[in-house]
Structure 1
Amino acid sequence: MGKQMINFLASIEDLLPLGLDARFFRRSQRGILELADEILRRSGEASGSALALELIEEYRTLNREKRAVLFEGLLTDYGPDPARLNKVIEAYQANPGPDAAQAFLRASESRRLDLFRLINTVPGGTLFLIKMREDLFDALRDNPDLKPVDRDFEHLFGFWFNKGFLELRQLDWETPAYILEKLIDYEAVHEIRDWNDLRRRLESDRRCFAFFHPALPGEPLIFVEVALTNGLASSIQAVLNEPVSGADQRVDTAIFYSISNCHTGLRSVSFGDSLLKQVVSLLQDEEPSLKKFATLSPVPGFMRWLGQENAPLAETIRTIVETDGSQALEEYREQLLRQCAQYLLYAKRGIYPLDPVSRFHLRNGAILHAMHWGADTSERGLRQSAGIMVNYLYEQTKLVNNHEAFVSTGMIPSSADITLLTRAR
C-alpha cells in the first residue's frame, strides 16, 4: 500500500509546474467536491491535471452511499449558472444573432460537463468516467432525479465515441492474452467456459471482430462472433461445439451468433449497427463465396412475456425445465412456437417490438426470417425462451427500405413461415 501511494504521488509530481511539490496535494480531509471546484478553477494548468488524478483516487475510496451523495452534489451544485444563463437570455432577446445564440449554448452547459472533460484528459480518465456512470446507474434506481447528471455523460460519450473515432480489429489466437481474457469476461450472450472454448471460437471457420477507441487501446468496446457455415445455423450447440470445418468445405453463410457490449457505462452509445455493417463489408471482401448474412439470436423476453399472457402455460414450462429438461418440452413445441411468433410480431413497446434483440436487428434493416426449436438447450436459453432462437436475415438490397419503414412505422418484415405461425390453430 505504501509503495502504491509513493508511486501515485510521484505521478502527480510529474504533472506539477515548477515551484510546487506533491505536499501541495497532501492536504487531509479534503472533500471530493472541493477537489472538483479546484480542478475547474485550475483548468488548463498542470496542477489541475494532478488534482484530477487525485479526485479519481479519492473517488475509488468512496462506498456506494457516499458515491450517491457525490452524485447529488454534482446535480445540485454543478448545473448551469442561473445568473449567467438569465443574462445571456436577456442579451439574445435584445439582440438575437449567431453570437448571442452561441453565448446561450455555452451558458446552458452544466459545470459538470467541464469537470468531466477535464477528468477525461488525464491518464485513465476516460475509463474512470465510464465506470463512474455505471455507479450512477446504481444511484438512479434510488434517486431518479439524478437523470440530468446521466444526460451529461450521455452527451459527452456520444461525441467521444463517435464511430469516426472507432477502430475495427479482428481478434484471433495471436491477439494478446490480456485482450482475449476480456472477451471471456465480457461475453454476454453465450458464456465462454474456458480457454479451449475461446480457441474454438477463433478457429479458421470462425471470426471475432471488435471496436476499440484510441483512449482505451486495450479495452474492447463491443465485439461480435461469427460462424462461417453452409446454410443458416439452427442450433447454438452446433455452432459452439461442432468440429472445425475442413479447408475444402464450402461456406456460403456468415452467422452472427453473439454481440456483446463490454461497458455498461456506454449504454445508449450505439456501436452495434456500425460494427455489423463494417464486418459484413470485410467478410464479403475476404470470402467472396458468402451469399447470406444472418444471426442466430436469443429471444430474451419471451418467457417473461408468456408469464403475463398465459401464466398457467408459463408455469408449466418452467416446472418442466427445472425438473425434466428440454426433451420433456416436445409436446408443447407447436404451442410455444406459435406463442413466440405472436410475441415477436405483436408484443410492442410503443410502436416497436418489446423484445430488445428484435428491436436492434429490425432497426438495422434485418428481416425476421426463421425460428428454431431446441436451438439453445442451455439453462439460460431454456429459462429465457424455452430454447427457441431466431434467424434475422440481412439482405443487402433491402436494408435501407426495411430500416426506414421500421423507424417510421414500426413495421416488422417477416417471412411467410413466421407470419403463418400466428394464424395456426
Structure 2
Amino acid sequence: MFRMLHRVNAFRASKTNLKENWVINPLKETLVRKRWFSLANEMERIQLYEKLDKVERQLLLYSFINKRLELQFKNRPDNQVKDRAVAQQLKTLLKLDNLKMKRILWDSPVIEKICLYEAVHPVKSLWDIKRRFGPDRRVYGLFTDSLANEPLAFIHIALLPDIANNIQSIINSSQVYSPQEFQCAVCYTITTQRAFGSINLGRQLIQSAIESLQKEFPQLKTYATLSPIPAFSTWATDQLDVNRSKLEDYKEILMDMCAQYIVSTNKGRVLDPVANFHFNNGAIPQQIQWKADCSDKGMNESFCMMINYIYECEKMKDRWESYQKKGNVVV
C-alpha cells in the first residue's frame, strides 16, 4: 500500500509538467502521445506500440478514435447533435453497450487506478485512501469485458445524516457514521476517463449507484452531490473586481452571481461544465454552499463555493430529456 501511495505521488508530480499530454491511463500513457507524435517515421511508432501492454494499446486507440470523431463532427452547428453523433459512433466502434457497474472495495485490484485517475479531489495520504473506502463510503465503477480491470468511470459517495455543505467535512473528517444514521447519499467526486469523454457514462453510473444504494439502505431519503463550480471565478471577475483577502465582504453579491451563472446558457447548454453534466443526467440545483472548499483550488475556481445537486429518481428521465431537447433548466 505504501508503494502504491508513492506511485500516486510520483505520478502527480510528473503530471504537473505533462498536463497537456495526459491522455487516459496515467500509469504510463502520460508520455505515450507526446512520444508518438515526436517520432520521425512509422517504423519507430510501430516499435513503440509493440512495447505497450494490451490495455495501454486499447486506451491509446480509443483516445485517437475519440479525437478523430470530434474533428469529424466539429463543424456541426448544434453542439448537442454533434455530441450525440460522436458518442453513438464511439459506442459502436468500441462495443460499449454491455457496461457493468461494480462496487470497488478496499482490497480490489483496481484501487490503485482509482487513486491515480481521481480528477476532482486528489488522494493525499494513506489515511485519505482508507477513509474513501470506509464503512460509510461507497465507490462504484463502470467496466466492460474487454477492459475488465480498467474503470472507465467511477463515483465516490458519502453516506451521511444530512446533505454535506463543505468538502472538508467529507474528505478530512474521521467521524464514521453507522447505517442507522444514513439519510443522505452524497456524491462528492465522479471521474470519467478522457478517452470516453464523448459518451455520457455518468448517467448510467449514477443511476446504477442509486439503485444499488436503494437496495442496501432503503432508509435513504436524499441522493445529492457536493459539486465544484470550476469556471465561476473566471466568469465573475469579468464583471466584478474581487479582493480575495476580504472575501466575506462579497458573500451576498457572489452568491447571487453564482445562482445566475449556474443557469446561464449558450446554444442550449449552461455555461458551467459540471452543471451541464448534472442537468444532462436529470439533476436539479438545490443549494449553493459558501466556503465549501477553502483549498487553493476552491478559491481559484469558485471563490470557495460549491453546489448541491439533487437526483430525484422518478423525475430524472423527464428532466434530462427536457434539457437535452429544449435546453430547459429546472430550478
Per the normalisation by structure 1, the TM-score is 0.60
Give the gaps of 5 or more residues in structure 2. 1-31, 43-49, 76-82
Aligned residue in 2 for 1:283: 213
The structural deviation recorded for 1:195 is 2.4
Q: How many residues of Structure 1 are paired with residues of Structure 2 in the alignment? A: 282
Preserved contact between residue 166 and residue 292 of structure 2 (Cα < 8 Å) = yes
2:61 matches 1:129: yes
Name the counterpart of 1:399.
316
CA contact under 8 A between 1:299 and 1:389: conserved in structure 2? yes
**How far did 1:335 drift?**
1.0
- SS of residue paired to 1:398: helix
Relative contact order, higher structure (CA 8 A, sep 6+): 2
SS in 1 for 2:122: coil
Residue 162 of structure 2 is aligned with which of 231, 239, 243? 231
Q: Residues 144-164 of structure 1, C-alpha deviation per residue, up to 9 Å, x if partnerless?
A: 68979xx99866531255553
Q: Deviations over 1:220-254 (max 9, x none)?
A: 11100000011211110101111232436511110
The residue that corresponds to 1:211 in the other structure is: 142
Pair 1:157-2:74 in alignment: no
Could you report, residue by residue, the CA deviation over 1:300-332 in whole angstroms, capped at 9, with x for unpaired residues? 111111133x1x42xx34xx2xxx4xxx31111
What aligned pairs does 1:100-179 form with structure 2 within 5 A after superposition?
123-124=54-55, 125-133=57-65, 157-161=90-94, 164-176=97-109, 179=110
Report the CA distance shift for 1:374/1:159 in structure 2 as closer, same or farther (over 3 A): same
Distance in 2 of aligned mates of 1:155 and 1:290: 34
1:6 alignment counterpart = none
Q: CA deviation at 1:365?
A: 1.4
Could you tell me how far apart the structure 1 residues matched to 2:38 and 2:88 are? 25
Aligned counterparts of 1:281 and 1:373: Cα–Cα separation in 2: 31
* 1:189–1:259 contact (8 Å) kept in structure 2: yes
**For the Cα contact (< 8 Å) 1:232–1:255, is it kept in 2?**
yes
For residue 258 of structure 2, what is the amino acid of its counterpart? C
Structure with larger Rg: 1
Q: Deviations over 1:191-228 (max 9, x none)?
A: 11122211100000000000111111221111000000
CA distance in 2, matches of 1:207, 1:352: 31
| Greater fraction helix | 1
Q: Provide the secondary structure at the position in 2 that maps to 1:158.
A: helix
Which position in structure 2 is the counterpart of 1:302?
232
Identity among equivalent positions (%) equals 31
SS of 2:97 mapped into structure 1? helix
Counterparts of 1:163 and 1:265 in 2: how far apart (Å)? 12
Q: In the alignment, which of 126, 149, 165 is matched to residue 195 of structure 1?
A: 126
Hey, what does 2:250 align to over in structure 1? 332
Matches within 5 A, 1:23-422: 63-66=36-39, 123-124=54-55, 125-133=57-65, 157-161=90-94, 164-176=97-109, 179-247=110-178, 249-262=180-193, 264-308=194-238, 310=239, 312-313=240-241, 316-317=242-243, 320=244, 324=245, 328-345=246-263, 347-414=264-331
Shift of 1:364: 1.5
